[in-house]
Amino acid sequence: MASLSSSPWLHLLLLLVAMGGTFAAAGGSGNPTAGFQKVQLADGDFQVQSPYNVPESQRFQYRNGVRTFWVHRNDKPFNTVTHTNPRSEVKLRGHDYSSGVWQFEGYGYVPSGTSGVSVMQIHNEEGAAHSTVLMLHVYDGVLRFYSGAAIEPDIYDRWFRLNVMHDVGASTVAVYVDGERKFSTSVTPSESYYFKFGVYMQHHDQSSCMESRWTNVTLYTKH
């Protein structure tokens, strides 16, 4: 006859208790920016890249602290040399980093209908074997790591707080939505990195127009 201590139910119960503890720790109700220092950003650090054949004001607006980015599916790239997909994005200029822990914080908004687009990236230095270590894509209302793992299922039509942490030494990234840790992974090391946000059309399921809005963008670091 099975004793209580060898009961599979007891083992399952203990496992669930242990997992509950792990999830609580990973979920982290705390502030992702705790222990970080703010990096001073000037307006000039927000370098806009938008389709070369139309005035910037037709694909980007900065009003009342909110940056709005949009592109159409058949827009041109951001210059005449590149063959990349249409984008209207900010490159955080002058804050490339190659060590330490860095964090992007922004409040984002993606209107329903926008699909097949990257809204935020960690970009490598020009000429690197891979151009990014992280992209956050939106497909049908789901925020994903590239076109893979789902990070947040319901991203449309609301302001969400996004924190993206990059530990350069450990080569890991972590994504927080509304203060909760939702995703982390290890990434391929590169020489240096910078953050981008806005809209950058991807390769499948694109909507005819893609839009995202951003406010209160802040950069943090920890050494």
Ligand X SMILES: *[C@@H]1O[C@H](CO)[C@@H](O)[C@H](O)[C@H]1NC(C)=O
Residues that bind ligand X (CB under 6 A): 107, 159, 215-216
Nearer to ligand X, 215 or 221 (CB): 215
- CB of residue 66 vs ligand X: minimum separation in angstroms? 8
Nearer to ligand X, 77 or 108 (CB): 108
- CB of residue 19 vs ligand X: minimum separation in angstroms? 33
- CB of residue 216 vs ligand X: minimum separation in angstroms? 4
Nearer to ligand X, 31 or 216 (CB): 216
The dihedral over CA atoms of 145, 172, 29, 198, expressed in degrees to the nearest 10, equals -40
- CB of residue 161 vs ligand X: minimum separation in angstroms? 7
Distances (CA, A) of 185 to 18, 66, 174, 177: 22, 30, 7, 15
Nearer to ligand X, 67 or 72 (CB): 67
Token pair in block for residue 8: 């599979």
Of 194, 35, 175, 182, residue with least CA distance to 124 = 194
As to burial, measured by CB atoms within 10 angstroms (0-12 exposed, 13-18 middle, 19+ buried), residue 129 is exposed
